[in-house]
Structure formats: structure tokens, C-alpha cells
Amino acid sequence: MVRLCLIGSRQPFSWCTPTDGLASRGGTLPALHQAGRPLPALVGSEPKASRSRRRTTRHPPHPRAAAPAKAGLLRHPPPSRCCVYPGPRPSQGLLRTHRVKPWPHPFPYEHLSSPAQARDDGREMTGARLRFAPSPTGLFHVGSARTALYNWLAARGGGGVFVLRIEDTDAERGREEWVGGILEALDWLGLDWDEGPYFQSQRSERYSEAAALLAGTGRAYWCECTREEIDRRAREAGRPPGYDRCCRDRGLSPGPGRVLRFATPLDGETVVDDRIRGSVKFANRDIEDFVIVRSTGAPLFLLSNVVDDMDQLISDVVRGEDHLSNTPKYQLLWEALGGPSLPRFAHLPMLVNEKRQKLSKRRDKVALESYREQGYLAEAMCNYLALLGWGPEDGEEVLSKAELVEKFSLEKVNHSPAFFDLRKLDHFNGIWLRRLAAEEFEERALPYLERQAWGNRFDRASFRRLAPLVQERVATLEEVPAMVDFLFLDRPALQDRDWAKLSGDPSTRTVLQAAAELYGTVSWDAPMLEAETRRLSERLGRPLRKTQAPIRVAVTGRAVGPPLFESLEVLGRERVLRRLGEALDMLGGPARAEEHAPPAG
């Protein structure tokens, strides 16, 4: 059992490693380094009718769908769940910087499960296998979240398997804490995965084998050109920037400073058949001889991505449109490695900023975590994210994840980029907040209240009494504390603007004095307070809204908040009277109660 502890979660993440009867690693790996030998699939590509129990599916199954596990690596059933929470899900506690240890950890390579296994989990399987393959190079991105969600929806909607893979081939940029961020983000969103996480950093042997195969068959070659040389040659020859295939026929052997480049075909075209965009043609001559292995021997994304999709039997690649131009390279590599039939592709439209540029970590607010911290609900985030690039036919936009699974279809995904609009997110968050059961709302608001500087003055019981009124007035959980802070502060947090307006009005003193008198004796519950304040208002000859305003500011410090009389009730007579008195003191000046006092009786 490998266990990752996420500081900030009450429960540790953990995933099982096989403990019994699994084929030993390595021994059953096909030998890939023999020149001329195509890379065999780890699983038979010929579906066996007897074992492939076809189900009705929304989409035509991939040729490899429902292919049963062949003897060998996949002979033994993997653990029923690869990633589980032992016990209740972590609280909605605020994220802190978290650290995952240890890392790298043993790679759960033998985990590859057959579709049959997932079927045992109680889901209808079609054998479609989708993966979400983020790289741990920064805070988890809302665009990644959308991609993960669409993969998850496609998997869950079609009875497929959802695989999580961490693409950490770039040791320089990858950081272990980002891995924890990915896991925690997916967990928060409720996007559970069936397999993985697989770590590319644990599979370098496999990529070396693939690289050796490509080099051995002449589909790749070693190159010693530096970036500077390449740029200079292009410049001097007046060619557009790009590699000139200089080393392609030099027959170099591996060596220091040398990278392995894939030799792309010089003619013909590669056609990408995309489920969202249709068929997209690329002339092979436009695809440069791209690097697949660094001079350090480490594989590049292009290679490891293909090898993993092959090994992990991915049938459907759903990713951002920024990968569309990579796809012909993917396909060429796939073919050169002797892979079975290609996966299906679906390239999702990008998420863009207000200037309609791809969302960037640098200039845009993209960290999912920051939205979580601000009190956005995972339900709202999923709901909103799903609508970025897709819309339900019936127009009903407020959808739970279960409803999304029901209605979502990759084929209906839009083609054009979408802007991440905070205001609409706010609207959805308000809806989901109001849908929460009272106790649930209270529970989720708790972390935001407890982190306030009220110290031990916070009192859950008082909050509970006002919570339902707060619930329907906030758009995010972050707004909750300001709604109820007057309950937990010695003196209300007087808002300058509100106080200025109040103190500038000569009638304020009259109202506050009258209220103080009234509240000294009135029966202390909201209905009575309201009724009596209304009568007071009539006696003063002013509308209730004009009367409640000074009282509200004096008692709560703010001009807006939960309904006043409930607030007074919870605060209690003593504190209300004290605050009215303090406000009157602050108002200063001569008491002019006589002038405005209502006729006695």
C-alpha cells in the first residue's frame, strides 16, 4: 500500500498496490529493442467475441473496445479500486500548501485492469478507455479541470474506464507538490478515476525501449545540432525557423548532447479524424523531425504520451485543441511503433481570457484552488465548466454531475473557444449554495468562519440560527463571514460609508433613542421586534425601511445583511442595547430627543 498524505485533508489518499498473484514486472514485458520488430500491443487487438459482451452504447465502440485482457500482464485482476478514500471524504477544509510524500514512489504498473474489472464495480462497460493526463508543472488549471471533467463525463456516460496519468517526464519543471494538487483537485470536483495514477517518471524503461525500437528501425535518428545552430542555419538560408533534417542521414550513434529525432515521412499526408472537428489533413512534409528523447536520455511528451496510450489501452483521447497540431506526430509515432488501431480523438475548444487568448498561468487567474478558496462549490464549478464548450439541447443549464453524465455528448461539443465568465459562475454558485441542505451549508461555511480573526468568540449555535437567511443571500462561501460577523465581534465592524450616511442624517439620533427605549422592554423575538418596530416607525412618521436602516448600521455595522429582526433576536437584547448606546455616544452632540420625541403614550 502506497500512501500519500495530503496535508490539509483529514484523510490520506491511498491507492492499493497488488499484493497477490500478479505477473512479475519486467519478465513479461515484450522485448522491444530488437531492430525491425514492431512494438507489440500489451493486449490483444483482436476482440474475442466470447468475452466481449457488447453493450448498447451511445457512441460506436472503438475497434479495441471491449477487447479482453490477453494472457500475460493482465492475467490477474487488479485491485477493485485503484484510488480510494478510506472512509468519509475530506472535509471542505481550505487548501493549504500541501506536500506529497514520498515521491517518486513505486509505480503501480501492474494495475492495468480489463474492462471486465470495472464492470465488477457495478458499472456498465463498453470498454472505452479514457485518460486524463496532466503534467504537474503548476497549480491545477481550470482548463485542465474542464478537460478532466469532459473525459470523466464521456467515460461515465458510456460505461468506460477513466484513467489518471501524471505526465511528469520533465524533471526540471515537475514538482511533487503539484501532483498532490492534481489529486486533491480531482477529488474536490468528484472526478474519481478507475485506474492510476500512473506516473511517467516510473516508466522510463518503457520509453527507452520504444526509442530504441524507433532508432533501430530507422524511424528515428540521433542529432547533435543545438538550437542555436538550427536557428542560425535557417536564418542564413532565409528559411522559416525550424529543423532542417541536417543529421537525418549522418548515421550518428547516441552520445552526449545528442537528441533522438523522429524521421517524419517526406511526402504523403496524415489525416486526423476528430470527433469534434471532423477530418483534419496535415501534409507530412510540414511536420518537422521532432525530438522524442532529450540529450539526457529522458523521453519527451510526444513519445511517452503515445507509448502510454498504447500500453494503457486508451481508446479515446480527449484533450485541448492546443494538441491538435501534435496529433499527426502522435499518429506517425503510433504507426512507427506498430501500434494497433489508433484511438479516437476529440479536441476540445480552448478556454480563453477576455482578450480571447489561451488561458495562461502567468497572466490569468486559472488556479482551480483559488476558486475553491473563494468559496465556490465543486457542484457549481463542474456545472459551469461543463457549459463551457457544450450546451444541453433542452436548455436546462442547472445540472448535477449525474444529469451531466446523462446528457453530455462529445459529439455535441462546440468548436470555438470559450471565455471563463466569473459572473455566470457566481450565478451558478448561488444556485448550488441555495440547494444545499441547511446542515450542509453550515458545514461548508464553517472553515470560512473559523479562519476569521474572531478567535474563540465564534459560536456555531448562533451562526446556525442565522445560517438559512445567510444562505440565500451569498454567492460564495467567502461572503458568509461578513454577513454574520456582528454576532462574534465585541463591537460591530462599522463600515465607513454606511456610518457616514447615518451620522450625516439628523433623524438618526431620534430613531436610535426611540429604538433603545423600545428594545428595553419589548418581548425578545423577531416577530415581536418587527411588529413593535413597525409601530415605532408609524409613530415617527417614516417608512419602516428608513427606520431599520440606522438600527441595522448601529447594531451590525453594515447597511446590508440578513433580515434585521432575526439578527437582533440572535444577538440578544443586552448587546443590542449596548450597541445602540455606543452609536448614540458616537453621534455625540446634544440630546434632542425632546424635539422629535413621539407624543407620550
Classify residue 467 as left (phi > 0), alpha (psi -120 to 50) or beta. Answer: alpha
User: Restricting to residues 235-264, which ones interact with RNA according to CB under 7 A?
Assistant: 240-243, 257-259
CB of 75 to RNA, least distance (A): 30
Binding marks (x or -) toward RNA, 344..363, rule CB under 7 A? -----xx-x--xxxx-----
Number of other CB atoms surrounding residue 97 within 10 Å:
9
CB of 506 to RNA, least distance (A): 20
Q: Which stretch binds RNA (CB under 7 A): 64-72, 83-91, 113-121, 274-282?
A: 274-282
User: Restricting to residues 186-245, which ones interact with RNA according to CB under 7 A?
Assistant: 226-227, 240-243
Q: What is the DSSP string of 84-144?
A: E-SSSPPP-PPP------SSS----GGG---HHHHHHTT------EEEE----SSSPBHHH
Contacting residue, 321, 364, 379, 569, with RNA by CB under 7 A: 321
User: Which residues make Cβ contacts (< 8 Å) with residue 313, sequence separation at least 6?
Assistant: 42, 43, 64, 67, 112, 129
CB of 84 to RNA, least distance (A): 25
Distance CA(569)–CA(577), nearest Å, equals: 12
Cβ-based nearer residue to RNA, 82 or 483: 483
Helix axes 544-556, 564-571, angle to 10 degrees: 40
Cβ-based nearer residue to RNA, 108 or 562: 562
Distance CA(598)–CA(138), nearest Å, equals: 66
Q: Which stretch binds RNA (CB under 7 A): 21-29, 149-157, 213-221, 289-297?
A: 289-297
User: What's the grid cell of residue 131?
Assistant: 485518460
Cβ-based nearer residue to RNA, 560 or 593: 560
Contacting residue, 120, 124, 421, 440, with RNA by CB under 7 A: 421
Cβ-based nearer residue to RNA, 125 or 259: 259
Number of other CB atoms surrounding residue 396 within 10 Å:
10
Cα angle value 135/136/142 (rounded, 5°)? 80
Cβ-based nearer residue to RNA, 82 or 298: 298
CB of 345 to RNA, least distance (A): 12
Contacting residue, 17, 169, 201, 429, with RNA by CB under 7 A: 169
Binding marks (x or -) toward RNA, 41..80, rule CB under 7 A? ----------------------------------------
Distance CA(578)–CA(584), nearest Å, equals: 10
Contacting residue, 343, 417, 492, 550, with RNA by CB under 7 A: 417
Residue 292's SS3 state is strand
Classify residue 408 as left (phi > 0), alpha (psi -120 to 50) or beta. Answer: beta
Q: Which stretch binds RNA (CB under 7 A): 41-49, 94-102, 181-189, 291-299?
A: 291-299
Using CB under 7 A as the binding criterion, the count of chain residues that bind RNA stands at 87
Cβ-based nearer residue to RNA, 64 or 206: 206
Distance CA(42)–CA(313), nearest Å, equals: 8
CB of 304 to RNA, least distance (A): 7
User: Restricting to residues 380-399, which ones interact with RNA according to CB under 7 A?
Assistant: 387-391, 393, 395, 397
User: Restricting to residues 88-107, which ones interact with RNA according to CB under 7 A?
Assistant: none
Contacting residue, 120, 205, 322, 525, with RNA by CB under 7 A: 322
Cβ-based nearer residue to RNA, 7 or 559: 559
User: Which residues make Cβ contacts (< 8 Å) with residue 337, sequence separation at least 6?
Assistant: 38, 39, 210, 213, 214, 306, 307, 310
Contacting residue, 472, 525, 538, 595, with RNA by CB under 7 A: 472
Q: Which stretch binds RNA (CB under 7 A): 28-36, 459-467, 469-477, 569-577?
A: 469-477
Residue 464 to residues 191, 449, 458, Cα–Cα distance (Å): 31, 12, 11
Residue with cell 542521414: 249
Contacting residue, 273, 286, 450, 595, with RNA by CB under 7 A: 286
- Residue 167 in the binding site for RNA (CB under 7 A): yes
User: Restricting to residues 526-555, which ones interact with RNA according to CB under 7 A?
Assistant: 526, 530, 544-545, 548-549, 552
User: What's the grid cell of residue 128?
Assistant: 472505452
Distance CA(452)–CA(481), nearest Å, equals: 8
- HSE-CB for 591 with a 13 A CA cutoff: 10
User: What's the grid cell of residue 274?
Assistant: 476528430
Side chain identity at residue 5, one-letter code: C
Cβ-based nearer residue to RNA, 79 or 207: 207
CB of 391 to RNA, least distance (A): 2
Q: For the chain, state the CA radius of gyration.
A: 32
User: What's the grid cell of residue 427?
Assistant: 450565478
Cβ-based nearer residue to RNA, 122 or 256: 256
Residue 577 to residues 53, 562, 583, Cα–Cα distance (Å): 74, 19, 10
CB of 222 to RNA, least distance (A): 11
User: Restricting to residues 423-452, which ones interact with RNA according to CB under 7 A?
Assistant: 423-424, 426-427, 430-431, 434
Distance CA(99)–CA(5), nearest Å, equals: 8
User: What's the 3-state SS for 135-191?
Assistant: CCCCCCEHHHHHHHHHHHHHHHHCCCEEEEEECCCCCCCCCHHHHHHHHHHHHHHCC
Helix axes 526-540, 544-556, angle to 10 degrees: 120
Number of other CB atoms surrounding residue 44 within 10 Å:
17
CB of 368 to RNA, least distance (A): 16
Contacting residue, 323, 444, 465, 539, with RNA by CB under 7 A: 323
CB of 132 to RNA, least distance (A): 11
Residue 486 to residues 405, 409, 458, Cα–Cα distance (Å): 43, 48, 11
Q: Which stretch binds RNA (CB under 7 A): 132-140, 399-407, 435-443, 576-584?
A: 132-140
Contacting residue, 30, 38, 77, 563, with RNA by CB under 7 A: 563
Cβ-based nearer residue to RNA, 73 or 198: 198
CB of 507 to RNA, least distance (A): 16
CB of 402 to RNA, least distance (A): 20
Which residues are designated catalytic? 361
Contacting residue, 325, 462, 495, 503, with RNA by CB under 7 A: 325
